[in-house]
Structure 1
Amino acid sequence: MKTKPIGIRFDQGEYDLISDYARREGETFSEVVRKGAICYVSPDHFKGYRSLAQLASSAKVDDMELLFGQFLDDFVHAHDKRSLIEEEPEWKGDPGRWRYDFAAAAHKLSHDNDVAVPRWVLKDEYVAETPYYAFGTTNPEFQAYLRETTPREYQWHNLFLGENVLSRA
């Protein structure tokens, strides 16, 4: 990475604290100062929050339920919520229903958090061809209940999962 040389002055106490920390972490003084500055201007950068796109490209579909739950927990605490949903996921393999779940979740989280809905969410490929009902139910009464209680953003993606679809309780 090409950088511009910039001089920052630290008093001796600050310099010693940063130097000691850098030695303990096996990093250079400059790396520690750079990371510190990035954390200040972009608080989520080093917290390890993974976006939907990162989950799709790096995780096995078998692990997705746990990882998606972790994503929802991280989303609540993230300062830059938009960055976690804005990029369109590219899947390693066949995502199955997760393709629709990711789009519906991004759609709902956008509305709930006053964030612009990402364009990718509204593509036809993110609308299930046939309705999907929670637990694969074929019970007409339960299907009717799910149609009535599922958030509209999930309905738009042809998913009927009930009112608590994003609940972590």
Structure 2
Amino acid sequence: MKVFVLIIFLLPSLVNADNLDINVNEGFLGAKWLSSQKEVEAALGKPNGYYRINKNRTLLFYGKSVSLLISRDRFRAVSIGGSLSEALAEYPNTINTKYEISNLTINGKPFFEQNFKAVEEALEIELGSPSYNISVGTDEVTINMKFSGIGGYRSEDVTKYQLRELSFAYQL
């Protein structure tokens, strides 16, 4: 009986430990906007790699699909998918595999390689007419999306567009 009660009390903490649901207005999976690089690494773990853009800007790579921009030691932007994923797809990955795109959700809904309408529902933001490139914003972030599809330019058929790249950047 004691073991059963202990499992019930631990269950909520175990569920949250692997929660990969993104809240774009707060940051990325526990790393809050404007956190220092040290705080980001404490929240997400050691990145797979680093790319120093210049003396004030660094990219942190997680999994094969996620990069975080640290600018002046503050977390400012996230990029998911796109050319980063394509470039790293063939490389072996032994750490941070939990950050693969297929594991990530927004508001509890999958978003990557989903059609236009499904992405709109996950973000809970009206995206307007379907297109290959969409930019929207909230009070906290600017969200840029790139879709691929077969519908032709400005096709109204939302099932023809699939999300290939998502980035969001904190607005000052």
TM-score, scaled to structure 1 = 0.28
User: In proportion to residue count, which structure has more helix?
Assistant: 1
User: In proportion to residue count, which structure has more strand?
Assistant: 2
TM-score, scaled to structure 2 = 0.28
